[in-house]
Amino acid sequence: MTILKCTALFILTAISGCNVFGQPAVKTYAFEQQSIPGNIPAGVTDENGNPINTSKAGHSTSFYIYLSHSNKSIITPVSLWINGRSYSFQTEHIKNTPVTKVNPNIPERATTTVLVPKTSNKVTRLLILNTSDKLSNTSSTEKKMLNTSSVVISYKWKGKIYYATAKELKRLEPTLHQ
């Protein structure tokens, strides 16, 4: 009889999109991509005659962070940490999957990477705005997660806070600019 009850609970859990701990099953997709500037010849000046810095310092990095969860679950991302730094963000609902990223470094052979595979689940993108100072208010649970995961996202579901993590950011091929 207990095996039958466990089987029924497992099936009910799978259908509802929740895990046995009572929270929704949330999958995190996390990527990073460097943007490498093109070469600026030495001795170039701007329109006011000031020299333009031609160093390669300061390559920018773009992050592509997505959450996928059951259509029946309504979750609200609350905070985001990437590599131990807290970021402010806004969310964007993704209507169509798969989500792909095209890197046109070599136009004749542009590469396409699938960031989020085709799914019938809800998909939300976290668009990073800038860094924030949230680390001083970080709980001990969050600090432990930050030590073991590159991406930590807290989200609210039914009034409680839960976490979704990604052990590491997957690196996309850098974007090269001319």
Distance separating alpha carbons of residues 16 and 70, to the nearest angstrom: 8
For 89, the domain range is 25-37+51-172
Q: Is position 134 within any domain?
A: yes
Q: Is position 75 within any domain?
A: yes
Q: Is position 46 within any domain?
A: no
**Residue 142 has which token pair?**
């969050």
Helices (H) and strands (E) in the chain, counts: 2, 11
CATH number at residue 29: 2.60.40
Q: pLDDT at position 113, please?
A: 93
Q: Is position 178 within any domain?
A: no
Q: Is position 67 within any domain?
A: yes
Q: pLDDT at position 40, please?
A: 57
Distance separating alpha carbons of residues 8 and 164, to the nearest angstrom: 26
Residue 110 phi/psi, 5° resolution?
-60, 135
pLDDT digit string, tens, across residues 81-122:
999 999 999 999 999 999 999 887 777 877 899 999 999 999
Q: What is the CA radius of gyration of the chain?
A: 21
Strand partners of residue 62 = 33
Q: Is position 19 within any domain?
A: no
Q: Is position 140 within any domain?
A: yes
Distance separating alpha carbons of residues 33 and 172, to the nearest angstrom: 5
pLDDT digit string, tens, across residues 42-77:
666 777 777 666 555 556 889 999 999 999 999 999
For residue 123, pLDDT beyond 50: yes
pLDDT above 70 coverage of the chain, percent = 75
Q: Is position 20 within any domain?
A: no
Instruction: With cut-offs at 50, 70 and 90, classify the pLDDT of residue 18.
Output: very low
Q: What angle do CA 81, 154, 28 make, to 5 degrees?
A: 75
> How many domains is the chain partitioned into structurally?
1
